[in-house]
Structure 1
Amino acid sequence: MDQAQRRNKMENKNHRKPKFDPRKEYFFKNGGILLEKQLALSQGLDIGPGQLKVFSHKDVRKATNQFDPDLLVGSSTHRNVYKATIGDREVVVGVPLQREPNPTMIDRNLTEASIAIVMSHDNMVKLYGCCLETCVPMLMYEVLPNGNLSEHLHGDIASSSRIKWADRLRVATDTAYALSYMHNALRKPVVHRGVHSLSVLLDNLFHAKLANFGYSVSITPGDTSQRWPVQGTPGYVDPEYIQTQVLTDKCDVYSFGVLMLELLTGRNPIRMLRGGRDLVDVFVSAVEKNDMIKMIDSEVLEQASRHEIQQFAQIALTCVAKKGAERPTMIEIVVQLRQMRAQLNIPQLMKHK
Structure 2
Amino acid sequence: MIKRRNKIKLKEKYFKQNGGLLLKQQLTTFDGSVDTRKLFNSKELDKATDHFNIDRILGQGGQGTVYKGMLADGRIVAVKKSKAVDKAKLQEFINEVVILSQINHRNVVKLLGCCLETEVPLLVYEFIQNGTLFHYLHDQNENLPFTWDMRLRIAIEIAGALSYLHSSASIPIYHRDIKTSNILLDDKYRAKVADFGTSRSIPIDDTHLTTKVQGTLGYFDPDYFQSNQFTDKSDIYSFGVVLVELLTGQKPIFSTMTEEGRSLASYFINSMEENKVCDILDAQVKLGKEEEIMVMANLAIRCLNLQGKQRPTMREVAMELERIRTLEKNNSVQPGAGNLVYWDQELFEAWDGSTSTGSTFNSTSTPSTDTKPLLF
Give the TM-score category using the shorter length.
0.7 to 0.9
Contact 1:83–1:92 (CA under 8 A) maintained in structure 2:
yes
Question: What secondary structure, in the 3-state scheme, does the structure 2 residue paired with 1:337 have?
Answer: helix
1:83 match: secondary structure: strand
User: Contact 1:91–1:143 (CA<8 Å) still a contact in 2?
Assistant: yes
1:299 aligns with 2:287: no
Q: Map 1:95-244 to 2 at 5 A.
A: 95-98=81-84, 101-155=85-139, 157-158=140-141, 161-186=144-169, 188-220=171-203, 223=206, 227-244=210-227
- Equivalent pairs: percent with the same residue? 37
Shift of 1:52: 5.2
In structure 1, list runs of 5 or more residues that go unmatched: 1-17, 346-353
- Write the letter of the residue equivalent to 2:10: P
Using the size of structure 1 for normalisation, the TM-score is 0.82
Change (3 A) 1:150 1:225: closer
> Quick one: distance in 2 between partners of 1:324 and 1:65?
48
User: How many residues align structurally?
Assistant: 319
> How does 1:235-274 map onto structure 2 within 5 Å?
235-271=218-254
User: Which string of whole-angstrom CA distances, capped at 9 and with x for unpartnered residues, describes residues 272-326 of structure 1?
Assistant: 5992211111111111111111111111002x12211110101111111111111
Amino acid across the alignment from 1:92: A
Q: Contact (CA 8 Å) 2:65, 2:82: kept in 1 or not?
A: yes
Q: TM-score, normalised by structure 2?
A: 0.78
Deviations 1:74-99 (A, max 9, x none): 2235422211011210001112343x
Determine helix, strand or coil for the equivalent of 1:65.
Answer: coil
Match of 2:13 in 1: 25
Q: CA deviation at 1:190?
A: 0.9
CA distance in 2, matches of 1:313, 1:129: 39
Higher Rg: 1
Match of 1:94 in 2: 80
| Cα contact 1:194–1:232 (8 A) shared by 2 | yes
**Hey, which of these two has a bigger chunk of helix by percent?**
1
**Closer, same or farther: CA 204–159 of 1 in aligned 2, 3 Å:** same
Shift of 1:271: 4.3
1:314-329 matched pairs, under 5 angstroms: 314-329=298-313
Partner AA of 1:318 in structure 2: R
The SS at the match of 2:210 is coil
Which residue of the partner structure matches residue 364 of structure 2?
A: none
Distance 1:310 1:77, change over 3 A: closer
| Whole-angstrom distance in 1 between the partners of 2:109 and 2:244 | 23
Deviation digits for residues 30-56 of structure 1 (CA, Å, limit 9, x no counterpart): 2223246558xx9xx99x987952111
Instruction: Name the SS for the 1:181 alignment partner.
Output: helix
AA paired with 1:166? D
Cα distance between partner residues in 1 of 2:176 and 2:192: 16
Report the secondary structure of 1:92's partner residue: strand
Q: Distance in 1 between matches of 2:27 and 2:303?
A: 30
RMSD (Å) for aligned C-alpha atoms: 2.7
Label 1:310 to 1:137 Cα distance change in 2 as closer, same or farther (>3 A).
Answer: same
The alpha-carbon deviation at position 227 of structure 1 amounts to 2.5
- Counterparts of 1:178 and 1:240, CA distance in 2: 23
2:373 corresponds in structure 1 to none
